[in-house]
């Protein structure tokens, strides 16, 4: 019998390996071998949602691999970070996800609260503070919108994900690095890509060649029409985009954001990790289809970078995630509302009437 999540997650162990699979392990994020239809674009949905949620929650991403029928994520839980947030920041972050309880909406509307409502509001804020550091709420906000968006695209209902996510505690630095290498090498082992730097939708590929586009990610969430409030309606994040967890030495030399300074280093340098992944990827696993060819040159040579060039580039990747184009986002938002109004109503009002569950 499965153990409850509270018995699987300990605040004393910050790092966890998360796996979530499509129902019946079908290729719902890849190419359907029966119909031949490709759903590869859904992998980008998952990757974008991961980055957006990490910037809202007190949960950091070490690496990930979005595959055709499942997803691996290595996370670091940092619930103590929420204690440093003011009540207003907690509200702002939660409102990026949900409308909030009625008493919160009344407070934000500037209406006077009585003594009982003030107590209720304070209790809700503490509840939101706890949820913003909770892995289960993080995964809920990852999986639910993706499932709704995929079902809408397919014109169907029902489960998209097989079950609740699975979690595995990573109790040592060795376990953490081994798991990260395993995750980043998933496309290579599945013979989808010949080398890790050519693998799509992985944390390692994002570090080597940053592609995350905040404007595009928010617009696509908005255009999908599967959110009810929050990110969809404001088209902006309540905090700077959070980079992936930095490797040892990266945060200290970053040109930096305040966000990068709050992240703890991973237990090796990025150059050392690349060498680890390259070495591991060359090992032949008889249970897996793929491996890095033994004749392939070292990974830094394949990337065409000298050690010094690579270290400089690897320690400055945070600067590529700064927010940009707010005027463009506002214009997109107004244009979309106009289009929806012309098509028979303001979609934001209609969606806002749907139940969101608690809070």
Instruction: List the CATH number of the domain containing 61.
Output: 3.30.70.1290
pLDDT at 9: 72
pLDDT at 124: 97
pLDDT at 122: 97
More confident residue, 133 or 11: 133
* Residue 105 forms part of a structural domain: no
Q: Looking at the DSSP assignment, which residues form a beta bridge with residue 168?
A: 17
Name the least confident of 169-173, 183-187, 260-264, 322-326. Answer: 322-326
Question: How many folded domains does the chain comprise?
Answer: 1
Domain of residue 275, residue span = 12-85+132-349
Question: Other CB atoms closer than 10 Å to residue 80's CB: what's the count?
Answer: 11
pLDDT over 50 (residue 131):
yes
More confident residue, 346 or 250: 250
Q: How many angstroms separate the Cα of 215 from the Cα of each of 74, 89, 221, 238?
A: 25, 22, 10, 14
Question: Other CB atoms closer than 10 Å to residue 236's CB: what's the count?
Answer: 15
User: What kind and span of H or E run contains 135?
Assistant: helix 135-154
351 alpha carbon, distance to own chain's centre: 24
User: What kind and span of H or E run contains 217?
Assistant: helix 214-224
* Residue 6 forms part of a structural domain: no
Burial state string for 265-296 with b = 16 or more CB within 10 A and e = fewer than 16: ebebbbbebbebbbebbeeeeeeeebbbeeee
pLDDT over 80 (residue 141):
yes
More confident residue, 136 or 236: 136
* Residue 113 forms part of a structural domain: no
pLDDT over 80 (residue 56):
yes
pLDDT at 139: 94
pLDDT at 329: 39
pLDDT over 90 (residue 103):
yes
More confident residue, 223 or 186: 186
Task: pLDDT band for 229, please (50, 70, 90 cuts).
Answer: low
Q: What percentage of residues in the chain have a pLDDT greater than 90? A: 38
What are the structure tokens assigned to 354, written together? 């749907």
Q: Looking at the DSSP assignment, which residues form a beta bridge with residue 166?
A: 19
* Residue 92 forms part of a structural domain: no
pLDDT at 227: 60
* Residue 95 forms part of a structural domain: no
Place of tokens 């090498």: 185
pLDDT at 63: 96
Mean pLDDT across 164-179: 90
Q: Up-side HSE of residue 254: CA atoms within 13 Å toward CB?
A: 27
The predicted model scores a pTM of 0.76
Exposed/middle/buried for 302, CB within 10 Å: 0-12, 13-18, 19+?
middle
pLDDT at 220: 82
What are the structure tokens assigned to 264, written together? 């703890």
Query: Phi then psi for 278, rounded to 5 degrees?
Result: -65, -45
Task: pLDDT band for 132, please (50, 70, 90 cuts).
Answer: very high
pLDDT over 60 (residue 108):
yes
- Whole-number Å distance between alpha carbons of 139 and 150: 17
Place of tokens 């404001």: 234
Place of tokens 């940092």: 78
Q: What percentage of residues in the chain have a pLDDT greater than 70? A: 72
Name the least confident of 42-46, 146-150, 351-355. Answer: 351-355
* Residue 109 forms part of a structural domain: no
Task: pLDDT band for 134, please (50, 70, 90 cuts).
Answer: very high
Sequence-separated (6 or more) residues with CB below 8 Å from residue 186: 65, 67, 72, 199, 202
pLDDT over 60 (residue 298):
yes
pLDDT at 249: 78
pLDDT at 6: 58
pLDDT at 138: 95
Mean pLDDT across 252-275: 66
């Amino acid at each position: 019998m499965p153990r409850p999540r509270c018995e699987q997650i300990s605040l004393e162990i910050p790092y966890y390996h998360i796996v979530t699979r499509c129902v019946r392990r079908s290729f719902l994020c890849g190419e359907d071998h029966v119909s031949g239809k490709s759903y590869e674009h859904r992998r980008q949905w998952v990757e974008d949602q991961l980055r957006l949620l990490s910037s809202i929650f007190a949960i950091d991403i070490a690496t990930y691999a979005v595959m055709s029928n499942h997803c691996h994520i290595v996370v670091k839980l940092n619930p103590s970070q929420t204690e440093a947030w003011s009540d207003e920041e907690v509200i702002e972050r939660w409102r990026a996800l949900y409308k909030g309880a009625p008493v919160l909406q009344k407070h934000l509307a500037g209406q006077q609260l009585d003594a009982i409502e003030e107590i209720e509001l304070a209790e809700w804020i503490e509840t939101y503070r706890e949820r913003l550091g909770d892995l289960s709420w993080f995964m809920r906000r990852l999986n639910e919108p993706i499932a709704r968006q995929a079902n809408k695209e397919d014109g169907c209902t029902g489960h998209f994900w097989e079950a609740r996510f699975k979690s595995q505690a990573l109790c040592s630095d060795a376990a953490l690095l081994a798991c990260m290498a395993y995750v980043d090498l998933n496309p290579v082992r599945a013979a989808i890509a010949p080398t890790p730097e050519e693998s799509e939708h992985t944390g390692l590929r994002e570090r080597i060649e940053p592609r995350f586009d905040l404007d595009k990610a928010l617009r696509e969430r908005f255009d999908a029409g599967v959110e009810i409030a929050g990110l969809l309606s404001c088209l902006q994040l309540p905090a700077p985009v959070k980079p992936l967890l930095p490797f040892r030495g990266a945060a200290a030399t970053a040109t930096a954001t305040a966000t990068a300074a709050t992240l703890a280093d991973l237990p090796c340098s990025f150059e050392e990790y690349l060498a680890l992944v390259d070495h591991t990827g060359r090992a032949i696993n008889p249970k897996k289809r793929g491996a890095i060819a033994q004749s392939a040159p070292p990974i830094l040579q394949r990337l065409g970078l000298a050690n010094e060039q690579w270290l400089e580039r690897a320690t400055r990747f945070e600067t590529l995630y700064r927010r940009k184009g707010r005027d463009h986002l506002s214009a997109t938002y107004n244009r979309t509302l106009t289009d929806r109004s012309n098509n028979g109503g303001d979609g934001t009002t209609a969606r806002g009437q749907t139940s969101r569950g608690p809070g």
